[in-house]
Structure 1
Amino acid sequence: MLIHPWDAAHDPDEWRAWLSRHDFGQLAVNGLPGEPPWVQPLHFRYEAEPGPYGQVLTHLARPNPLWRALEENPTVLLSVVDDYAYVPGPWAAPEGSPPEHGTPTSFYAAVQLRCTAHVVDDPAEKAELLNRQVAHFQPEGGTAPVAPGEAPFGRLLAGLRGVRLDVTDVRAKFKYANHKPEPVQDAIVAGLTTRAARGDAEAATHQLRRRPASSV
């Protein structure tokens, strides 16, 4: 992923705050020799500790075909992308130029976590991992806890494998044209606000949030 200086996260707090609100991504696992990578969409729980980058907890069905590749090479990439919007060319036209001379572009936020994967098969450890995931997605409760050998979910543990991803590096990008002149940025925000399609409000918020304090 190319990251220009103006698109880079301002600091680790920025990508951590964004990731705390996004918990669905794609896990890319290196393929076996001669095969392409496996890419698995999944929900996950990100935890800021331990280590400098934290860890990710998730699980997959035991019949999933990626296990052999994962065990062959535990270095994986978890990619999370959201808050995206298409910016039509006329919105981005430089001042004094015809609208049709504007360059279309994409806005998006992306965080890529390079990780070392650890497969969790111990029933008690799997149960703890699953309960931590459920606690993240259902803080209000309403689902019985998972416990090995106990109803209602204990018998289902054998059909799942847990995955703990120790994060070893992070690449974060917030592509919102913050290197453009302010009048162009203002025009783009106006266009996003008027169109109000999926992701437009979030993209406009990022565009305004990431401007230098002196220009806001």
Structure 2
Amino acid sequence: MQLLGKLEIKSPERIARFLNTEHVGRIATMDERGYPQVIPMNFVFLDGFIYLHSHIRGEKLDNIRRNPKAGFEVDRELEFLPSYFEDPHDASLADTLYVSVVIKGAAHIVSDLAEKSRALNGLMEKYQPEGGYTPITPPMSVLDHVAVIRVSPVSVRGKYKIGQTLAARARTELAEKILKRSSQTAEETLKVMGFAVAGGKLEMIDEPVW
């Protein structure tokens, strides 16, 4: 339990920042036979709610009308840590650095046109920040041809594993191994871990405590 506490994101601001930078989340609803249906979707975190847009007909909408209880999950795999970082003879030591947020709450199909417009504009601002579109307003007919789902959180839990449970020296050694392995995600992972790379050398610039 102590380790789980160290992996939990304590900062609501960090959770909001993570949700606002990720592009794909997964909504889980219950189908008519009681099985969870999980669908990856674009989303925006706005005013404390998750908003998603959808076709006006579909199984997930039927699920929500029947049972509003829903889950929503977002994750980012930062870096796979090969087992040989620890022991070349023990494959069980392979690990992954990651960030994730899991939300439980109530899903609702938005009918208010002002809220619907605000959610769709929020989605556009997130995914098309360069602009080049006409903002949506309540009188527009496009609102009749798209559904907007709001997930109202009952609980929000964030977890992260970026070496924060390690002593400073061990965390630096892990960062050096990641730098040497030089995967496609290494530079971004090191940044999240609190390291900068200058001239091929590491510099610790931030404590990874969220």
Q: Secondary structure at the match of 2:80?
A: strand
Residue 67 (structure 2) pairs with residue 73 (structure 1): yes
Shift in Å, 1:87: 0.2
Per-residue deviation, 1:205: 2.6
**CA distances 1:12-56 after superposition (whole Å, capped 9, x unpaired):** 232222223224211111232x34211121111112x3xxxx112
Q: Deviations over 1:167-199 (max 9, x none)?
A: 221110001232234444223212222333343
Q: What is the CA–CA distance in structure 2 between the aligned matches of 1:148 and 1:127, rounded to whole Å?
A: 6
Map 1:74-153 onto structure 2 (within 5 A).
74-91=68-85, 93=86, 99-101=88-90, 103-123=93-113, 125-147=115-137, 150=140
Quick check: 2:70–2:106 contact (8 Å CA) kept in 1? yes
Structure 1: runs of 5+ lacking an equivalent: none
Letter of the structure 1 residue corresponding to residue 67 of structure 2:
N
Return the letter of the residue paired with 2:66.
E
Q: Percent identity?
A: 21
CA distance in 2, matches of 1:182, 1:128: 45
- Counterpart in the other structure of 1:170: 156
Read off the aligned partner of 1:12 and give its amino acid letter: P
State the Cα distance separating 1:10 from its structure 2 match: 3.7
CA RMSD of aligned residues (A): 2.6
Rounded Cα–Cα distance in structure 1 between residues aligned with 2:7 and 2:13? 15
Shift of 1:125: 4.4
Taking structure 1 as reference, are residues 149 and 211 closer, same or farther at Cα in structure 2, changes over 3 Å only?
closer
What runs of 5+ residues in structure 2 fail to find an aligned partner? 195-205
Q: Measured at CA, do residues 149 and 179 of structure 1 come closer, stay the same or move farther in structure 2, by a change above 3 Å?
A: closer
Q: How does 1:13-92 map to 2 (within 5 A)?
A: 13-32=13-32, 34-47=33-46, 49=47, 54-91=48-85
Cα offset for 1:134? Answer: 1.4
Task: State TM-score, norm by structure 2.
Answer: 0.78
User: What amino acid maps onto 2:82 in structure 1?
Assistant: P
8 A Cα contact 2:72 2:103, kept in partner:
yes
Displacement of 1:149 in angstroms is 6.1
Amino acid of the residue matched to residue 160 of structure 1? V
- TM-score (normalised: structure 1): 0.77
Structure 1 CA distance for aligned equivalents of residues 145 and 13 of structure 2: 37
2:97·2:161 contact (CA, 8 Å) conserved in 1?
yes
Deviations 1:107-129 (A, max 9, x none): 11001122221202355543343
> For residues 100 and 210 of structure 1, do their structure 2 counterparts lie closer, same or farther at Cα, with a shift above 3 Å needed?
farther
Q: Return the offset for 1:83.
A: 4.1
For 1:13 and 1:112, locate their aligned partners in 2 and report how far apart those are by CA, in whole Å: 15
Query: How many residues of Structure 1 are paired with residues of Structure 2 in the alignment?
Result: 195
* Aligned residue in 2 for 1:188: 174
Q: Aligned partners of 2:161, 2:118: CA distance in 1, in Å?
A: 37
Structure 2 contact 24–43 (Cα < 8 Å) conserved:
yes
